[in-house]
Structures are given as C-alpha cells and as structure tokens.
Amino acid sequence: MSRPDLNLLFTLDVLLAEGSVAGAARRLHLSPSAMSRALSRLREATGDPLLVRAGRGLIASPRALELRDSVAQLVHDAQAALRPATALDLGQLQRTFTVRASEGFVENFGAALLARVSAQAPGARLHFRHKLDKDRAPLRDGSVDLETGVVDQTTGPEVRTLALFSDRYVGVVRTGHAMSAGEVTAARYAAASHIRILRQANAQSPLDEAMSAFGIKLGIGATVGGFAAALALARGSDLVATVPERHTGNLLTGMHTFALAVPVPEFTVSMLWHPRMDGDPAHRWLRACVREACGGPAMSA
C-alpha cells in the first residue's frame, strides 16, 4: 500500500476553509491550475468530489463537511509539533486546568494547591471536577487535565501515574463518644452503629472486603455519598465513621480517631494524566504543584 502524501492535508485544510480553488491558490501562493491538480489528487485519495459546482461557486460535499474539523485539528497539531518549544513564563500563563478528584481530595488538599498555583501563576485557574467513577475517557479526550485516585486493574496502560501518598482507614467518633475511651476491639467496633459510605450502587470498598473476610457484618445506621457527610453525621451523633486518615485530615479536627482492630490494607493515592501531556511545560508545572500540595518533594518542571 502506497504511503499517502501528507502535504495534501494542508492543501485540503485551506480548500475547505476557503471553499474556493482560486482563494486557496492565493493563500498557498500557487497557480489556479496547480491548485486544481491538487484538488484532483485529493478527490482521488478520498474517493469523494469534496467541492462541487453550485452556480458560480463551489460548495462542500457531506464528506468534506465531515472531514473539515478533523483535518483542521490534524494540521494544527502538526504545526504545533514542529514549532520550537518556548520557555514557560508562569507570570504570563493564562490557562484553566481541569482536575478531576474526589470531594475528600479537594477538601483536604484543594486550598494548598490553589495557594501554590496562584502564588506562582496568577493567571492560572483550577476547575475541580467531581469524580464519580473511574472512567479514564476524560483524560483521553482532553476534557480533564489531571486526575487523582487509586490505581487499579481498571487503569489502562496508556495512562501515566505517579504516587502522591499512602493512606489508611481509621475509625472516627465525636468527642465524648463511648468509643473515645479504652481499646476499640474488633467486637466493640462491630457492635457499634456505623455510617456507610456508598459512592456507587453495589460497589464494595476495601473496608467491606476486610470485614467480610473476618466474618464481621457492620450495623448500618445511615448511608451517605462521601467522607465529609459521614464525618458531619459522626460529629453530631453516636454513629461511627470509617474514613481514610490523610484524605480527610482537615475534617478530623475536634474528633476522636482510633486504629481499626481489623487489618484493612493501606492504599496509595496517585495522580493520573494522559501521556500526550508529558511534554507540556505548564502541565509538568501543575503536576509538581499537586505533589507539593500533598506533602511530596518538588518535581522538576
């Protein structure tokens, strides 16, 4: 199979933008006859007339309309790839980064991240997008710049990851609660009334799996959708919340925490991004800010 002439993409982009052989010829500094020959080659390559006569002018065929946006993007990407890289000037950076994260991450690390970003790049903005699932499509399609979460078997090999911190589950009760005094054994923990955190229907957390392995079935007094709601309920009731310790650190002030008697595996929270962002200086800087906000060492931008 012969290799296509990629120069035709640039010609097609101009033809579709101008809608005129003469206009495209002027823009590309070609003669009208040369442009007509290029159009003939494009028609042969695509198997479509692309531009058809309508009165005194030309109109785009349905296939040409279908190709217009994708061809324009290809040409833009090619030009960007061949353009010399410029040094990142954080003082002049005007960009909005979309970060997809759980509410716990935003509540605990969002303010520190915002402080770093605004101090170094006053024109940069963060758009925190609530993470409801582990679908990586937003990273692939570019609607999300960066994501935080736990890497597991659902994380595809095309996604870059970097560990931010390790975390563990702890029990939390209000100050003065009966379980704030004395050792909290597995039996005592199981006998309490608990707050269940359910983010997805029928989903089982590592906590659920650990309890099941030990034959423990917790009594559920309330079900909520996130850590903040669980801690708010625990603060004002006799219910017990079980939450990640570092992920909720800023929300635990004034509450009593205790280690779980049942061993629940620790987990690692990472940041995830698409590899096409590896070479973007602004994105590398953002990744460094995220790592610093989470207590990690600075990264080279």
Domain boundary among 81, 114, 140: 81
Same domain, 222 and 281: no
CA–CA distance, 12 with 40 (Å, rounded to integer): 11
Same domain, 63 and 135: no
Question: In total, how many domains does the chain have?
Answer: 3
pLDDT digits (tens, 9 = 90+) for 182-233: 999 999 999 999 999 886 655 667 777 888 887 888 899 999 988 889 999 9
Please say whether the beta carbons of 290 and 271 come within 8 A. yes
pLDDT at 300: 44
Does residue 301 sit within a domain? no
Domain boundary among 32, 53, 81: 81
Whole-structure pTM over 0.85, yes or no?
no
CA–CA distance, 200 with 103 (Å, rounded to integer): 14
Does residue 2 sit within a domain? no
- Here the contacts of 73-82 (C-beta below 8 Å, separation 24 or greater) are 74/9, 74/13, 75/9, 75/10, 75/13, 78/9
Same domain, 258 and 173: yes
CA–CA distance, 42 with 144 (Å, rounded to integer): 35
Domain boundary among 81, 116, 147: 81
Same domain, 30 and 66: yes
pLDDT digits (tens, 9 = 90+) for 142-164: 889 999 988 876 676 778 999 99
Instruction: List the CATH number of the domain containing 285.
Output: 3.40.190.10
Same domain, 94 and 160: yes
Determine phi and psi for 53, rounding to 5 degrees: -70, 135
**Minimal CA–CA distance to 211: which of 183, 182, 191, 231?**
191
Does residue 299 sit within a domain? no
**Domain span holding position 224:** 169-265
